[in-house]
Chain A
């Protein structure tokens, strides 16, 4: 029952930097406007799980805090259920938030931490008690209700923090990197629990993370942000398979996509690129975009994901020298030097053949041109994004 609409939401910080000066000399103040979030527009549907993803400082947390009402919106409009919320106090927005550092009240028991969130709204003690126990049951923390936060492990504290939010039964659940402080194993476990939890709670979720695995597994839709701007909004598989820009392409995917600078040139039959000394014909899907360009050599960035590179001992199109190979258990990540460019390939362990992956050995590899992405070298935009299927 809660849709969220953001229209050109913008947040500008005025940061004043002191230059020189000291205790007794007047500081020269340099006022500088920093745009934390720029023209964020999006419609989040009821009960949707939206993940804001990006590197630190990209404005994802600021966006979340603006939805929460903890940060003022400088420009643009925020609607929750079609009601303008710009000037509504956070307590009246019916949103709950899980903070990155949990922010539990250390002097209160787990029960009181959770009950504190609803006592103001529900005067009936029995009802408070019932709701807290119900939420604790969902999260499996019923046996810790009498304990203080300091007596709990990291994962249990995390549950209490989530419990404090769900006990309110809010329309909107906001989560600010809730799993970033857990160890890897616990994070995986909590991630799948969040998925289960989501089905039990009737709320719209907005989730902030810098972890792409969390974003890909949890989100119905993912918003990739950089420097306060939205780079792409889409379903996780769309973002992976059809990235709008070089930034999105390299940010999503592990190991990171290989990027090789190339130039496209026209020949009578179409467009070609020269890659590691081999001339390759580009598919017709690129022609329409490239033919609009006047340059004789169009500077491009070629992207190929490590998992789409096929390795073999001989017969592959290209040749590289193994720099290092990393065994991760279920896969091998091979870093190769190809004419001075580092190319990373990912081979799944179960597909592993009798290939010598050791350092300094020469490997052959190839990939299909249909798995390749081409980005404008200047703007970084995917030249076929929105035109075809991007491949």
Chain B
């Protein structure tokens, strides 16, 4: 009995600490959500709750004045295409590094991994110059191109692919399936959790990117992404934080929808039953 009591106390303590941490993490979001319903005068009031949840002017203004609809579309195009291309390239590279034997395989693999050690900010200027020389400033491609290749994603996928027995590829090649078929019909379905997680993670990263889209689309306001657009809602002569909060709420919607859709696929999927045992 004593033991049970001890366990109960421990469980309660863990739950309390976890809840506390959870509240700290989610509080800015809650605050942002609640503030987006406040009137300008209410916003300066330290009260947490808005007087009415029916006050939607902030959303209306953000969408109309701030052109957020267009920016959301820009962000979506950039994040979605960027992620798809990145996934395709990562999958193909990881496949080659897992299933092919070629000279210098380890050298190239570590060379690619080495790029993970270079901080992105260091490349900002050179990337900008490259993109500008390619005449890609103020274009979708210009914003996306630097995110097409991801060493870390390639690495994660390779780790997953390595757990898939080579016999499976041999079996499918004997049945007349080429590499592409094997990837589509066997490898990807078996790697669904990793692939979806990486997809969501990559989409959210690109969606949330700020600095790069800002400098690449600096001279063309209609090409801005939603993250850049939101900051423009607020200017020094007109402090409209409740408008920014509404913009942030709008910008969160696609990421949340994507997460909800993909969540089911992220759960553990395994090789159970493929092999002996």
Contact = CB atoms under 8 A, between A and B. Distances in A.
B273 A91 contact: no
A116 interface: yes
Nearest to B175: A117
B273 A157 contact: yes
A178 to B, nearest CB: 11
Contacts of A215: none
B185 interface: yes
A151 B167 contact: no
A106 B271 contact: yes
Contacts of B277: 154, 181
A107 B173 contact: no
Contact of A101 (B167, B172, B185): B167
A149 B276 contact: no
A120 B176 contact: yes
B274 A103 contact: yes
Contacts of A90: 170, 173-174
A95 interface: yes
Contacts of A99: 167, 170-171
Nearest to A99: B167
A124 to B, nearest CB: 16
A70 interface: yes
Interface in A97-113: 97, 99-107
A248 interface: no
B175 A103 contact: no
B129 interface: no
Contact of B176 (A103, A106, A107, A121): A121
B175 A102 contact: no
Interface in B172-196: 172-177, 181, 185-186, 189-190
A116 B172 contact: yes
Nearest to A70: B170
A96 B186 CA distance: 19
A125 B70 CA distance: 47
Contact of A105 (B170, B176, B274): B274
A107 B170 contact: no
Contact of B190 (A91, A107, A148): A107
Given A103-B167, A105-B168, A116-B185, A91 B173 contact: yes
A103 B190 contact: no
A350 B177 CA distance: 56
A196 interface: no
B170 A104 contact: no
Interface in A147-179: 148-152, 154, 157, 164, 168
Contacts of B274: 102-106, 149-150
A100 B277 CA distance: 12
Contact of B276 (A68, A70, A154): A154
A103 B272 CA distance: 11
B275 A103 contact: yes
Interface in B239-277: 269-277
Given A70-B170, A107-B189, A107-B190, A102 B275 contact: yes
Given A90-B174, A106-B190, A148 B273 contact: yes
Size category, B interface: 20 to 34
A97 B270 contact: no
Given A106-B270, A107-B189, A116-B185, A101 B275 contact: yes
Interface string B48-79: 00000000000000000000000000000000
A89 B165 CA distance: 20
Contacts of A149: 272-274
A377 to B, nearest CB: 42
Contacts of B177: 91, 120
B174 A103 contact: no
Contact of A106 (B185, B273, B276): B273
B170 A103 contact: yes
A297 to B, nearest CB: 52
A117 B270 CA distance: 22
B276 A96 contact: no
B189 to A, nearest CB: 5
Contacts of B276: 101-102, 154, 157, 181
B264 to A, nearest CB: 15
Contacts of A103: 165, 167-168, 170-171, 274-275
A68 B174 CA distance: 8
Interface string A107-150: 10000000011101100000000000000000000000000111
Contact of A91 (B168, B174, B189, B271): B174
Contacts of B168: 103, 105
Contact of A96 (B165, B174, B271): B174
B90 to A, nearest CB: 21
Nearest to A164: B171
B2 to A, nearest CB: 42
B175 A120 contact: yes
Contacts of B270: 106
* Most chain A CB atoms below 10 A, which of B165, B173, B274, B275: B274
6 A-B pairs closest in CB distance: A150-B273, A149-B273, A103-B167, A106-B274, A150-B272, A120-B176
Interface of B: 165, 167-168, 170-177, 181, 185-186, 189-190, 269-277
Given A99-B170, A104-B273, A150-B273, 6 more contacts: A105-B186, A107-B190, A116-B172, A150-B272, A150-B274, A157-B273
13 contacts: A70-B170, A89-B173, A100-B167, A101-B275, A101-B276, A104-B275, A107-B269, A120-B177, A149-B274, A150-B273, A151-B273, A154-B276, A154-B277
